[in-house]
Amino acid sequence: MNIEAVKAIYRFEMARARRTVFQSIVSPVISTALYFIVFGSAIGSRITEIEGISYGSFIVPGLIMLMVLTQSIANASFGIYFPKFTGTIYEILSAPISSFEIVLGYVGAAATKSLILGLIILATAHLFVPLEIQHPFWMLAFLVLTCITFSLFGFIIGVWADGFEKLQIIPLLVITPLVFLGGTFYSISMLPPFWQTVSFFNPVVYLVSGFRWSFFEMADVNVWLSLGMIGFFLALCMATIWWIFHTGYEIKD
Amino acid sequence: MQKENTNQSVIQIENLSKSYPPDFKALNKINLEIKHGEIFALLGPNGAGKTTLISIICGISNPTSGRVLVNGKNIISDFRATRAIIGLVPQELTTDAFETVWDTVSFTRGLFGKSRNSAHIEKILRQLTLWDKKDDKIMTLSGGMKRRVLIAKALSHEPDILFLDEPTAGVDVELRKDMWEIVRGLQKTGVTIILTTHYIDEAEEMADRIGIINKGELILVEEKASLMKKLGKKQLALELQEKLKKVPKTLKKYKLELVNNGNCLIYTYDTKAKHTGITALLGELSEAGIKFKDLNTSKSSLEDIFVSLVKETT
């Protein structure tokens, strides 16, 4: 195993985050604070509690997921797309590194950044609303698994994209609507039966539900099903990346 | 430290082909051996397949068929061992923009599996006169400086084999000369160098052996000296005292060319021939009453050889 190469990629990506700290950390934190103000005040004044949890506290896990999902994808996709765009990918391809090590470096860094961001948002949320985490281990497990899975997904998008438009299209047109409709700001049980059924086809519902369970022991779906879904998505992303490197898709001639 | 310099081949390319759909053959059954410690120049016009060949050896492209061995190891099944000893300076100025010179060179060293070594990075940066720029962001550097950064990156992991793809394209004369010096210095330490170039004088100046590639086929591989000797022709230019209207019939067998408005006679002869015919020509010129005020000889350049070979295969 070429540990030095993994460290080099990891350090390079983390250095990029430090250089763009406003974009990487400050901006998502400000967005989260705005969500608290807008949703917490506007909707929270009408829906005071959901299943015994104050509305402000209820939306915290969903908000963290929203930010972690979008930032994992953005970080990982940009991390691998940018060398393709500038041509510096030649270095990665000509270095004595396996595809596993490349993924470990890029995805590891993207997931680390998202994890840090998730924890910062959690701390920020704590300033606005009272929070008590019922299952801290599972909270962390869900957070880490989501960071890794969606960083892998972002890596796939970065490999697939051949322009900045393609880089943005999946996060903007697919991920953001799925997250907003995935029970971030409400409980699925509040929807009419038809829309409840539709919602269960949204994979984000399972992530938010499982994560919320770790906070409040309340969930829209069984927690093991949530864990199974994230495990399935993780396996799917890993299989896709294996195929990408096996075939050289969009990376090698 | 001086490395061992043998005549062993470090790279063996066997029946290497690369095709692109629908039916474009970028490389067609290339067979080539690169010897340890030599400077090998690969010449060819645009689109001949030079960069494709380098890209395959370095792992950037996959071959369609054939195989490449580096130090006896297959570049695909044993990629870690082969890539670890290869450095590549690409043709395009593909660099990061926001990184500093020091960071980007250190990054490459890490990628190639080497632990941090500030002393080595400092040595390279000083050698390439980049030391003063070590904390500068790459985007602030000139094109020539960026080219030096690419060389520094390629040397950061102390490679045994260095590929230079058009290393002096777009750089000024001074930098070109500097680079030649650097390349010669590297060769002295035992590094094998393979360079592609458009500048024939660069190959003529630097190379031990020359390969000419055209339309994906290796037309010729030859020691530079013997290539020049074998294919090189010399010309004798005689500056006449009086203008000639045409070459006298008695001198027809010498196939003389009358140039410069009849003021100069050109005689082309083969350097490998036992008798060049110069003595006889000068005697017959004297008999014909043609006097000259000056004469000089010139050797055909590698460029002439290259152009004639490429023309033959086109």
Looking at the domain covering B9-229, what would its CATH class be?
Answer: alpha beta
Q: Which one of B92, B98, B115 has the shortest CB-CB distance to A19?
A: B98
**B220 — pLDDT class (breaks 50, 70, 90):** confident
Smallest CA-to-CA distance from A57 within A69, A72, A47 is with A47
Q: How many CB pairs under 8 A join A and B?
A: 82
Q: Report CA B288 to chain centroid distance, whole Å.
A: 46
Distance from CA of A31 to the nearest CA of B (A): 26
Token output for B282:
């000068």
Higher pLDDT: A9 or A184? It is: A9
CB-based contact A86 B97, cutoff 8 Å: yes
Residue A147 or residue A131, greater confidence: A147
Q: By percentage, how much of chain B surpasses pLDDT 90?
A: 32
Model confidence at B88, pLDDT cuts 50, 70, 90, reads very high
pLDDT at B287: 87
pLDDT band, very low/low/confident/very high, at B2 (cuts 50, 70, 90): very low
Maximum distance among all alpha carbons in chain B? 78
> Is the pLDDT reported for residue B131 higher than 50?
yes
Contact B62 A90 (CB under 8 A): no
Q: Where are the beta strands (DSSP E) in B198-299?
A: 209-214, 217-223, 233-240, 257-259, 264-270, 292-299
Measured between CA atoms, how close is B36 to chain A, in angstroms?
21
Given a cut of 60, is residue B293 above it in pLDDT?
yes
Close Cβ partners of A87 (under 8 Å, ≥ 6 residues apart): B90, B92, B94
Name the average pLDDT for chain B: 85
Judge whether B103 is closer than 8 Å to chain A, CB to CB.
Answer: yes
Query: What percent of chain B shows pLDDT beyond 70?
Result: 92
Interface test with B, best of A82, A88, A100, A245 (most B CBs within 10 A): A88
CA distance A21 to chain B (A): 14
What would the mean pLDDT of B44-55 be, rounded to a whole number? 87
CA–CA min distance B262, chain A (Å): 55
A92-132 pLDDT, tens digit each: 989 999 888 998 999 999 999 999 989 988 888 888 787 88
Of A7, A11, A94, the CB nearest to B83: A94
CA-CA-CA-CA torsion sign (A204, A210, A214, A217): positive
B122: closest CA of chain A, how far (Å): 18
Q: Strands, E, within B54-114: which ranges?
A: 65-70, 73-74, 86-89
Burial (CB < 10 A; 0-12, 13-18, 19+), residue A78, is buried
Over residues B231-275, the pLDDT tens digits come to: 667 888 999 998 888 888 888 888 888 888 889 999 988 766 677
Closest partner residue to A90 among B79, B80, B94, by Cβ? B94
pLDDT at A44: 67
CA-to-CA distance for A107 and A77, rounded, in angstroms? 9
Contact B173, B141 (CB under 8 A): no
Residue B161 in this model has a pLDDT that exceeds 70: yes
Q: What is the pLDDT of residue B5?
A: 46
* Residue A148: band (very low, low, confident or very high) from pLDDT cuts 50, 70, 90: very high
Provide the CB-side half-sphere exposure for B131 (13 A, CA): 10
Q: Residue B33 pLDDT more than 90?
A: yes
- Residue A140: band (very low, low, confident or very high) from pLDDT cuts 50, 70, 90: very high
Residue A175: C-alpha distances to residues A187, A209, B137 (Å)? 19, 16, 35
Give the per-residue pLDDT at A63: 87
B84 touches chain A (CB under 8 A): yes
pLDDT 10s digits, B202-212? 777 888 998 98
Checking if the pLDDT of B192 tops 90, the result is yes
Instruction: Report chain A's terminal Cα–Cα distance, integer Å.
Output: 25
The more confident residue out of A47 and A176 is: A176
Q: Of A19-28, A37-46, B90-99, B133-142, where does the model show the most confidence? A: B133-142
Interval B176-198 mean pLDDT = 86
Of A247, A14, A7, A230, residue with least CA distance to A104: A7
Count Cβ atoms below 10 Å from residue A163 Cβ, excluding itself. 10
* Cα separations in angstroms, B64 against A33, A52, B16, B27: 55, 65, 8, 9
Q: Counting every residue, how long is chain A?
A: 253
**Spatial strand order in the sheet of B9-20:** B24-35, B9-20, B65-70, B73-74
* Cα dihedral sign, A40-A46-A50-A54: positive
Average pLDDT estimate for B43-72? 89
What are the tokens at A120? 């910062």
How high does pLDDT run on average in chain A? 85
CB A97 to CB B115 under 8 A?
A: no
pLDDT more than 70, % of chain A: 96
CATH architecture designation of domain B233-313: 2-Layer Sandwich (3.30)
Task: List CB contacts (< 8 A) between A87 and chain B.
Answer: 90, 92, 94
d(CA A26, CA A35): 14
- Other Cβ atoms within 10 Å of A164 Cβ, number: 11
Token pair listed for A58: 């209820």
Instruction: Please list the residues that pair with B17 across neighbouring strands.
Output: B65
For A45-66, what is the mean pLDDT?
Answer: 80
Interchain CB distance below 8 Å, A5 and B84: no
Among A50-59, A110-119, B40-49, the range scoring the smallest mean pLDDT is A50-59
Distance CA B16, CA A77 (A): 34
Domains of chain B, residue spans: 9-229, 233-313
What does the alpha-carbon distance between residue A159 and residue B15 come to, in Å, rounded to a whole number?
A: 31
Instruction: Answer yes or no: is pLDDT of B187 > 70.
Output: yes
Please state whether B105 falls in left (phi above 0), alpha (psi between -120 and 50) or beta: alpha
Q: Which residues are CB-neighbours of A30 under 8 A, at least 6 positions away?
A: none
Taken in order A210, A214, A220, A221, the sign of the CA dihedral is positive
Chain A residues near residue B96 by CB distance under 8 angstroms: 86, 88
Measured between CB atoms, does B96 come within 8 Å of chain A? yes
* Measured distance CA(B255)–CA(B248) in Å, rounded: 11
